[in-house]
Amino acid sequence: MSNLNYYEILEVNENASIEVIDKAYRVLAKKYHPDVYEGDKKQAEAMMQKLNEAYDVLSDENKRSNYDAILKRKKQIELEKSITENKKNSSIDSQNFNNINSQTETDTPLNNPAKYNKEKFVVDTTYMDEKQKRKIKKKLQERYVEAYDNYLRSRGYKLRYKWTPKRFLKAILIVAFSILILTLIFFLPPVHNYFVSVYESNPIFKMTVDLISSFFSAIITTFSSIFDSIF
């Protein structure tokens, strides 16, 4: 394994989800691809090699778990060495030691989104049950992804999101809710009377409404026929 810190190469936090890691890799790979990189091509090739190596490890659950264990042990050794060297001049209580041992301090917005958007992404879950911990973790991850997206937009990147089942369902619910609201508004007496008067007095509007009605009627008839043939 290389001595490189793969999280720093991909410019992500060590707690980043696979979604964030995928996004970071795509953005950086596009930036440093030798075919589009405007600087030194050899430098771009070297960077792409590092990106591929980092992504290969962090995108695989087993490889990432092993890497995290090694990285944690390495940091612990370095910390213990630093403490030993400075023990004569300073002392660190057990609480500070645990905090330093469990956190990696960085100055980049991607590694420290809390600093970037002035929000805290660490919550003390010591006295929470497992259900509360999972809920807090999900909320913090959503805020982290949002901060990461905002950072990329601030640098001029245009983001494209994959259509996941959850996102597709959310879009359907939004459309259905919008249709329901519009339908309720339409049947309010003043609104309904207004549209009826426009429908009767405007031939173009009437023709458009009739075509739309015919289209949806045909769809409903088709689905009804399919449903009847199946059952």
pLDDT by 10s per residue, the chain, length 231:
445 689 989 989 888 889 999 999 999 988 888 888 888 888 889 999 999 999 999 999 899 988 888 888 888 888 877 777 766 555 444 444 445 444 444 444 445 544 444 444 555 666 677 887 787 777 777 777 777 777 777 777 766 667 778 888 888 999 989 989 988 888 888 888 888 888 888 888 888 888 888 888 888 888 788 877 776
Whether residue 61 is contained in a domain is answered as no
Tokens describing residue 159: 């983001």
User: What's the CA gap between 108 and 17, in Å, rounded?
Assistant: 18
- For the entire predicted model, the pTM comes to 0.41
Whether residue 149 is contained in a domain is answered as no
The tally of domains found in the chain comes to 1
Strand locations in 128-177 (E): none
To the nearest 10°, the Cα dihedral for 218, 224, 230, 231?
A: -170
Geometric angle at alpha carbon 197, from 196 and 200, rounded to 5°: 85
CB 72 within 8 A of CB 66: no
User: What's the CA gap between 26 and 23, in Å, rounded?
Assistant: 5
Whether residue 179 is contained in a domain is answered as yes
Which domain range does residue 180 map to?
165-230
Whether residue 132 is contained in a domain is answered as no
CB 44 within 8 A of CB 37: yes
Whether residue 206 is contained in a domain is answered as yes
Whether residue 194 is contained in a domain is answered as yes
